[in-house]
Structure 1
Amino acid sequence: MTDALDKRDFETLSEFRYQLRRFLRFSEEAAQAQGVTPQQYLLMLHTQGFDGRDWATVGELAERLQMVPHGAVALVKRCEALTLVQRRRGDQDRREVQVSLTAKGFEVLEKLAFVHRQELKSAGRRLRVPFRP
């Protein structure tokens, strides 16, 4: 390691992790208040996270959620059972599974995204990491 850490670096990392955890706890509680799990909220959010389309593949969701593909499949199935999402085969590649929101899923996501945006507006400054270049 060529760039030695000093006390201020540890303080900065600690503060960032604290503020990140505060935001994640807020997110967990907000999701539960809407009757979904934090992972279900994130799955719904990530279906809307790709430019120019309102769906995501199971593989993309697994990557965004940092989980193994079969775990993502199980989460999609649970969301589908709650009528939050729907699956369909890809038009170009029939092996591809595209996941999109139902009207109910979009309504839940919209409520959660709104409160998350408000929280980020107030917590945004605290989440910046001021490391020296």
Structure 2
Amino acid sequence: MPSSRRKVKPAVATADYEALASFRYAVRRYLAFTEAGARSVGLTTQQHQALLAIKAYSLSRPMSVGDLAAELLLRHHSAVELVSRLERGGYTERRADPEDRRRVLISLTPKGEGVLEALSTKNLRELRLIAPSFAALLEQLEKLSSE
């Protein structure tokens, strides 16, 4: 058979599409769960993500508005507005960096800590429930990529 008529193996096999779709569906279900949780306490998904980023980042060093923008892949002015909304809701507070007065540091208030802890408890419980299916999907993807 001439080389121009050989059947070329597709770059992405049917099983690859199925695995990717299954994984994306599982991720989307988890995200929908976390989005519903955030809405149930009056937060947007982005506000919840900001609280989580502030908490995690602040465990090792103070977080600036610029740091938050980088963590959430936002422009600086968008992060400023997000922090303003969180501050108006009583979830965060701002203060000038004592080492560089031009830098604004953000932290969670007790209200922000409480809301984040409640949401994180539910989200971790859900992650523990779905972890086996995620592990199986990742294993399936790993097998496909090695073939």
Query: Quick one: distance in 2 between partners of 1:103 and 1:8?
Result: 48
Which residue of 2 is the match for residue 15 of structure 1?
A: 22
**Pick from 60, 68, 73: which aligns with 1:66?**
73
Query: Quick one: distance in 1 between partners of 2:45 and 2:127?
Result: 17
Q: Report which stretch shifted further, 88-97 or 11-20.
A: 88-97
Percentage of pairs with the same residue: 37
Shift of 1:20: 0.9
Which residue of 2 is the match for residue 111 of structure 1?
A: 118
- Runs (4 or more) in structure 1 with deviation over 4 Å come to none
Contact 1:43 1:65 in 2 (8 A): yes
Task: Specify which structure has the higher proportion of helix.
Answer: 2
The count of residues paired between Structure 1 and Structure 2 equals 130
Per-residue CA deviation, residues 52-78 of structure 1 (Å, 9 max, x unaligned), is 24x421122112212211111101000
Which residue of 1 is the match for residue 127 of structure 2?
A: 120
Which residue of 1 is the match for residue 86 of structure 2?
A: 79
C-alpha RMSD of the superposition: 1.7
Contact 1:16 1:126 in 2 (8 A): no
- 3-state SS, counterpart of residue 52 of structure 1: coil
Which residue of 1 is the match for residue 97 of structure 2?
A: 90
Shift of 1:83: 0.7
Gaps of 5+ in 2: 1-9
Instruction: Point out the structure with max Rg over C-alpha.
Output: 2
Are positions 1:52 and 2:60 aligned together? yes
Gaps of 5+ in 1: none
Query: TM-score, length-normalised on structure 1?
Result: 0.89
